[in-house]
Amino acid sequence: MAPPPPPTAVDHFVAQSQTPILMSAFGLQVLHYQYIRRTQAAWDVLPASSRAISFLPRTLRAGLGWGVVFVGLLTQITSAKNAIRDYTDPVVTRPLQSRAWGRGTIEETT
């Protein structure tokens, strides 16, 4: 079985910047909600493809959209952290494993 590929720079960035990413997404959600509440729809007639969800209020539709965004962000953060956690460098781990198993008395090692 081949070792997993090393984590990318994007994985490291996402894993290290988890809190700023989620807080900025939450801030954008609050600003978008305020914008929706203060403005009216630009058009009242919806295309036929979106009439199935036209009975939902604009704020609820936007909230569902933001829910999808948050699920995507949390999935990306989780997969980045798992990629970093599960990766072991074969060059570095080989000497560490041999030292851990090769411990014995001083007479045996010299």
Q: Summarize pLDDT for 24-68 with one digit per residue, the tens.
A: 999 999 999 999 989 877 655 556 666 666 677 888 888 999 999
CA-closest candidate to residue 10, choices 70, 76, 85: 76
Q: How many CB atoms lie within 10 A of CB 11?
A: 19
Q: What pLDDT, on a 0 to 100 scale, did the predictor assign at position 28?
A: 96
CA dihedral 14, 76, 18, 87 (to 10 degrees): -60
